[in-house]
Structures are given as structure tokens and as C-alpha cells.
Structure 1
Amino acid sequence: MAFAMNPWLPKSTPICILLLLLLFAPNGDAAATGYCYKSIINFGDSLSDTGNFIRMWNPNHLAAIPPYGETFFHRPTGRFSDGRLIIDFIAQSLGLPFLRPYLSAEEESDFEKGVNFAVAGATALDISFFQERGIVNDLTNTSLGTQLDWFHESFCNSIHSADCKEKLQSSLVIMGEIGGNDYNYAFLQGFPREEISSFVPKVISTISSAITELIEFGARRMIVPGNFPIGCIPAYLSRFMSSNQSDYDSTTGCINWLNEFSMYHNEQLKRELSRLRELHPNTTIIYADYYNAAMELYSSPTKYGFKNTLSACCGGGGPYNYDAYAECGLESRVCDEPSSFVSWDGIHFTEAAYEVIAQGLIHGPYTSPQVNGLCVLEGSRGQTLSDD
């Protein structure tokens, strides 16, 4: 993807020599101080999984075969996109290597620059919650609790507690995005909105408990993303097609009531993060506004070089080029120019879209407290195409 598409960066500035300088103060009240990170610790689902799912469950899954990975890595890596994810752009901006998936590590030193516990298909709530309600997760039984267990067993239990605390204090911890699948499975299987809305407090509580647990272990700087506007995603647009034009936003073509649900989740999450900031004034907890960062792509697509916002680049046909029975990599067709599409496979974004969203977080204004500033380190590239 050409950097000219990125309105925050001068064309002459390669992103791989930029280092994110987060000017933080607890709750934004005290004088801000610069901080650079030694590592990233990430939890989440397919929006940030860099290879755990295919190692854990299915090495022959679609994310492990072309055309996944075709744009940047030129091979599949287990990322559910044609290239890099938001987590990859954040790592690059910090001068750190791409996060190794937890299940690819062979020895303790593999965690030196960070670790990625995210698993595609993962939910915030335990799998039993969905089984009791007849909601099927046919991808994985992995939850946020599973990822925290991995963290305890291999990341902190393998070193002294004091060393673990020191490691966390020098790391940027990213909690998600997580929780989206808790709603995706239910919505796409036809469960009523009212019932799914009742899940939200439970999802938020689970995320909050995980944040609290990590703070107790020593985490001092955390990013917690909200949910994307699901009413703009081809899988949802295909599932909930309506002849009632009032269901759609006349400017973007997104489904209003689904986006309202995403906003409801995000408002509840922001409220909980405010509560946690009061309880933990020495920890910086940043809300990453994935919703509004992504809405930029739908409301002003030409500003970022996008020609198609609502159809998948890789899909099985239909009004939005999405067919749940002809997923990307099977009986599907791939667009010639992924960088002109917002959606990659009808559920996940293209690398081009992820880059714009990431820059909206790194350079503002889509974080709260605000993430401010960049510093350039001479020769600080720290990046290779290999993540194995």
C-alpha cells in the first residue's frame, strides 16, 4: 500500500523508522511524560491474531493458504487479511518486530520483544456461556480466559515475579479488540438483538476483570480497543439485507441498528474504563476508538484512496461479494487491487484499511487519553518480513 494514502504522514517518511512516543499522564491530569516501550503484549481475536489459530487448530485453514498474506508478506502467515494488521503497524511504529504468535515460540527468549496471545474466533466469555444458549462457535473454544492462562503459565510463571512485574511495566499491553465474536456468532446465527444486548454487561465485566488482573501483575500502560461498526461489514450487510431504506445510512450504506449496537458496546466499555482509571491512577488506560477510526473509511473513502467500501475484495459473489458458503480462498474471486477495498474477506479488513485505522490511533485523534507525537530513531528499523 502506498504511503501517499496516509494523511498523517509525509510521503517521504517510511513508517518503519518511526517510533511512537506516547505522552501519558495517569487520567490525563498530571504533566505528560514521554515513554517508549521495550515490548508489546497483546490479547484478542482474528483482528490481531498473527498465527496462533492455525497453529492451535487448523494448519490448513483458509488463513494459512493464498490469497491471504498476498500484499505484504507474499505468503500466508495466519493473519486474516491480505497483509499487516493494526497490531503490526503499532509494532512498526514502536521500532519493534512483528509480534510472534504465542504458539510459535520455542524458548523464553522469543518473548523478549513481546508476545501475541490473540486467537482468531476467540470470545471474551467462556465457551460454556454460548453452549448453554445454543450459540455455536465452530472455530475455537478459546476465550480471553484461555489467553490469560497462557500468560500466567508461560509468561510470568517462567520467570521470577519481580522480573514479570518489571517486564510488564516496560511493555505496552493491548487488550483486544476482544468481545466482537461474542456478538458475531449470535447475530449471524439469527439470535434476537434484545438477547444479544444482554450479553454486553457480561462481556464488559470480563474485559474489565482481565485488565484488573494484568494491572495487579504490573501492567502500567494499556490500550483497550472498542468494537468496529459492524453495520458496515459485508457479512452483516449480506445477512441483514433489507428493502426498508430507513435501515441504512444514506451516506455510507451501513445498517444503522447494527452500528447502534456497536456504539452501545463501546459506550459501556468507555464507562467501565473510566471507573478503572479512578481505581488505578498509576496506570494509563487508553481507549482506542476503532469505531470512529473505521467510519472515516466509509464516510470519506476517496480521501484515503478507497473505491469500494462495502464489498469484500475476496469473496463468493452476491451484492457484497460475501457468501458464508464460499469463503475467501475457496470458491471465490479476488479483486485486482486490494488497496482500493476496505474489506478483505467480508469479515476482516484489508491491510490498506488497517493502516489508515492504525494511523488514526497512533497520530490521533482516535485515542482517549490522546496518544501524541512521534520520534524518529536513526537506523531504528527493527523489522523483517519473517515472523516465524
Structure 2
Amino acid sequence: MARIEFLRHMTLVSLIVLILCTTASPIFASKNCDFPAIFNFGASNSDTGGLDAAFAALSLPYGETYFHRSTGRFSDGRIIIDFIGGVFATLIPKEDYFFKALYTFDVGQNDLTAGFFGNVTIQQVKATVPDIINNFIENIKSIYNLGARSFWIHNAGPIGCLPVILANFPSAAKDSYGCAKQYNEVSQYFNLKLKEALAQLRGNHPLATITYVDIYSPKYSLFQNPKKYGEPTKYDPTFMVVYVWISIGSD
């Protein structure tokens, strides 16, 4: 079995373990959390410091604090999990950890976002969703066949609320909260198909515990009820994206 770097995602581990220990879900609610390890498969939403494939290599100021140069990561240098991972760099997990671990997945948003910038229509991007889902499910099956049994799978967030979408597609029709409506509809369609596919996967793999995690709703609620989460800050999404791209091209 291929070696997996143990406890690489400790920041994510802490958050998920807390959720699993306190959630009211009948699947996970218990006094004890018995996962000896958590292995994450995902992009920058679930792996802090990871680089979104939809963007080019990042230049300064990213990386300046620790490396004093560009590192191609969404951080100013090294992050907590780098140091924790270094401590356990030579530790190979016990074999039963692979069977008892929780496997978390956060995929889809990059696939959809990259499609929007691929000189195709929204409908053409939407048409790729079944293939994206099928490939994702096949990967889950592969990991299941290696012994994994507990899966925690995020859906896609409201892509139409991302500054990169709002800035690059300013003519897109907006909903009442300022998000690009059609782009969010693609996210919703992706999530619907993902949920259906996971339901079928559960039926075909009764020994697996597969939890579908709704990330879309709480993220969208930030736009629906901003005052609920603190004093709203006025921002210009165009400025945010322009800053990123100027930074990227400043080398």
C-alpha cells in the first residue's frame, strides 16, 4: 500500500474531529471520536497553502515571511501543518490506521471554475458535471477497495459569489445578494448530482459510512445574512482579483 504522509493535515484534523464529536448527526454523534487518522483529498479549500490549479504560479508577497521568495502557495511561507508534518515525516502509519481512518474529500470547485475560464458557455460547463462526478466516484471506489470505510465528502460552494467570478464576468445576472445567479446554479446542479451519486454508492457499499457535507448553504448564508456574522465590510471584488493578478505578474 502506498505510503501516505501521516497527520499532514493536523489543522484540518482538529476542525473535523471537533465537528464529529459535537454534531447531532445520528451517524457520527457519540462521546468518543475513534478515528486514529484523517486523510484529506482536496484543493486549497481543505489544504491550507495548496495552490489552486486554475491560477498561475504565485509571486511575492506569497512566501516572503519564511522563504523570502515566491513559493507558489496561498500563504506567506510555511504553515502550521508543515512543521507538524516534519515531526512525523519518517513515521509510517500502522496498517490498520488506513482502515480505521476518516477520509475527507473537497473537490469540484476548481473543475467548475476552470471550465468557466475555458472559453466555453455556462451550459457547456454544466454538461461536464456528470463526467466530473463519475470520475470522482471511481476514485472513491478505488480508495474503498484499498480498505477505506469512512468518508466525509464536501459539496461545492456558491461559485457565483467568488470575487474571481464577479470580477471577470461583470455582466452576469445577479441574485438579490449580489452573486452571479447562473454560476451558482451550476454549483447547485453539481451538488445535486453528487448527492445522487453518493446515495447510489451507499447502496452498493453497505460497509461504508458516507457522509455528504453541505458546504454550499453555510457559505451562501454569509451573503444572505452578513450582519448575523458581524459588521459587514464594504469591498470591491474587482480590486481583490486585480490585486491577485498584479501580484502574480510582478516577478
**Which range, TM-score by smaller chain?**
0.7 to 0.9
In 2: Cα distance, 1:285 partner to 1:193 partner: 30
**Which one of the candidate residues 164, 173, 192 is aligned to 2:103?**
173
Q: What is the Cα-based RMSD across aligned positions, in Å?
A: 4.1
Contact 1:297–1:309, Cα closer than 8 Å, also in 2:
no
Q: What TM-score do the two structures reach when normalised by structure 1?
A: 0.49
In 2: Cα distance, 1:49 partner to 1:214 partner: 19
Aligned pair in 2 of structure 1 residues 68, 273: CA closer, same or farther (>3 Å)?
farther
Residue 297 of structure 1 aligns with which residue? 222
Residue 187 (structure 1) shift: 0.5
**2:74 is equivalent to residue 80 of structure 1:** yes
Residue 292 (structure 1) shift: 0.7
Matches within 5 A, 1:1-388: 20=18, 22=20, 34-51=32-49, 61-62=57-58, 65-66=60-61, 80=74, 98=81, 107-109=89-91, 112=93, 164=95, 166-176=96-106, 178-242=107-171, 247-250=173-176, 252-305=177-230, 307-308=232-233, 311-312=236-237, 318=238, 320-323=239-242, 326-328=245-247
Q: What TM-score do the two structures reach when normalised by structure 2?
A: 0.73
Contact 2:21–2:29, Cα closer than 8 Å, also in 1:
no
Alignment deviations for residues 348-381 of structure 1 (CA, whole Å, 9 cap, x no partner)? xxxxxxxxxxxxxxxxxxxxxxxxxxxxxxxxxx
Residue 8 of structure 2 aligns with which residue? none
Contact 2:104–2:153, Cα closer than 8 Å, also in 1:
yes
Q: Any unmatched runs of 5+ in structure 1?
A: 1-15, 55-59, 89-96, 113-162, 313-317, 332-388
- The AA in structure 1 aligned to 2:101 is S
Residue 291 (structure 1) shift: 0.8
Aligned pair in 2 of structure 1 residues 266, 31: CA closer, same or farther (>3 Å)?
closer
Residue 300 (structure 1) shift: 1.5
Aligned pair in 2 of structure 1 residues 194, 30: CA closer, same or farther (>3 Å)?
closer
State the SS of the aligned residue for 1:38.
Answer: coil
Contact 2:43–2:51, Cα closer than 8 Å, also in 1:
no
Q: How many residues align?
A: 229
In 2: Cα distance, 1:106 partner to 1:302 partner: 42
Contact 2:101–2:148, Cα closer than 8 Å, also in 1:
yes
State the SS of the aligned residue for 1:41.
Answer: strand
Q: Any unmatched runs of 5+ in structure 2?
A: 1-13
Alignment deviations for residues 85-136 of structure 1 (CA, whole Å, 9 cap, x no partner)? xxx9xxxxxxxx847899x799541x54xxxxxxxxxxxxxxxxxxxxxxxx
Contact 1:69–1:76, Cα closer than 8 Å, also in 2:
yes
Contact 2:61–2:247, Cα closer than 8 Å, also in 1:
no
In 2: Cα distance, 1:281 partner to 1:53 partner: 35
Aligned pair in 2 of structure 1 residues 327, 209: CA closer, same or farther (>3 Å)?
farther
- The AA in structure 1 aligned to 2:150 is R
Structure 1 runs (4+) greater than 6 angstroms displaced: 29-33, 75-78, 99-102
Residue 207 (structure 1) shift: 0.9
Contact 2:43–2:50, Cα closer than 8 Å, also in 1:
no
